[in-house]
């Protein structure tokens, strides 16, 4: 089993371009697995973890409801945002500047074969990272992602998640609001959940800006421990 994970930071990159890149890495792993099964080739599958920041974009998961997007095409253009219907789980979400997006593209057969466990470990990575900033976050029963003040009128989401998996290979991932413009969430019903707010790390800390590079390092530290993985930086 190959527990090495290549880490790439793509910087700011268009959502569709990143999606295509993810699909390429995803297909490469699947092709290797198929070759191994057909020919008993014994080839190692690779694992990847992409960091990226997207320009303003709304994405709708395969089971999502388009009515949760509250903007017309003209209004999207006016706000400098794009929209994509995509092949992950979950409903609608927003990505944009000030948000750390992470896409682990893993062959889970290198780690464990349990999608539920995979999602819980991603949530745990976020929870442990936020704890380092003095913020108590948690899971909300029946709602994937990471929340603050669950079970109170002040419940708010700080990290959204949506993944796709095929033959135990994952893609898509999480979006952690660090310095996000929360006004863009007003244009959707986030994740299809009415009546719950969205927040960002800088808002919770009362800071103008949080060091995103520092947050990424903390995320990777916890990810490596939780997945018992060896992380290797790769040039983009």
Distance CA 57, CA 82 (A): 5
> Containing domain of residue 145, as a range?
4-233
**Is the Cβ–Cβ distance between 173 and 102 less than 8 Å?**
yes
- Look up the pTM and report it: 0.94
Residue 224: is its pLDDT beyond 80? yes
Indicate which CATH number applies to the domain containing 132.
Answer: 3.30.930.10
Token output for 42: 């014994």
- Which letter does DSSP use for residue 194 in this model? T
pLDDT per residue as tens digits for the range 135-189 = 999 999 988 899 999 999 999 999 999 999 999 999 999 999 999 999 999 998 8
Token output for 129: 């990272």
Distance CA 24, CA 28 (A): 6
* Domains: count for the chain: 1
pLDDT per residue as tens digits for the range 205-222 = 999 999 999 999 999 999
Q: Is 178 helix (H, G, I), strand (E, B) or coil?
A: coil
Q: Is 56 helix (H, G, I), strand (E, B) or coil?
A: coil
Name which of 14-23, 77-86, 171-180 the model is least confident about.
77-86
- Look-up of token digits 């590079």: 213
Which of 19, 197, 172, 193 is closest to 92 using CA atoms? 193
Tell me which residues are annotated as active site: 191
Distance CA 231, CA 236 (A): 15
Distance CA 136, CA 147 (A): 9
């Amino acid at each position: 089993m190959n527990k090495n994970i290549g880490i790439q930071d793509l910087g700011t990159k268009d959502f569709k371009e990143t999606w295509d890149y993810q699909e390429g890495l995803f297909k490469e792993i699947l092709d290797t697995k198929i070759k191994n099964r057909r020919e008993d080739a014994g080839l190692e599958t690779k694992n990847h973890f992409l960091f990226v920041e997207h320009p303003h974009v709304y994405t709708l998961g395969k089971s999502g409801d388009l009515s949760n997007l509250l903007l017309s095409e003209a209004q999207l253009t006016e706000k400098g945002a794009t929209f994509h219907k995509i092949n992950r789980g979950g409903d609608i979400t927003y990505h944009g500047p000030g948000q750390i997006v992470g896409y682990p593209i893993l062959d889970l057969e290198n780690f464990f074969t349990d999608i539920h466990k995979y999602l819980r470990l991603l949530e745990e990575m976020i929870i442990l990272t936020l704890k380092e900033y003095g913020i108590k976050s948690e899971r909300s029963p029946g709602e994937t992602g990471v929340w603050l003040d669950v079970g109170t009128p002040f419940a708010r989401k700080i990290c959204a998640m949506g993944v796709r998996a095929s033959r135990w290979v994952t893609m898509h991932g999480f979006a952690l609001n660090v310095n996000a413009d929360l006004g863009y969430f007003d244009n959707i019903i986030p994740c299809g959940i009415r009546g719950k707010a969205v927040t960002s790390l800088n808002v919770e800390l009362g800071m103008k800006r949080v060091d995103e590079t520092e947050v990424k390092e903390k995320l990777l530290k916890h990810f490596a421990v939780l997945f018992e993985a060896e992380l290797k930086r790769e040039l983009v």
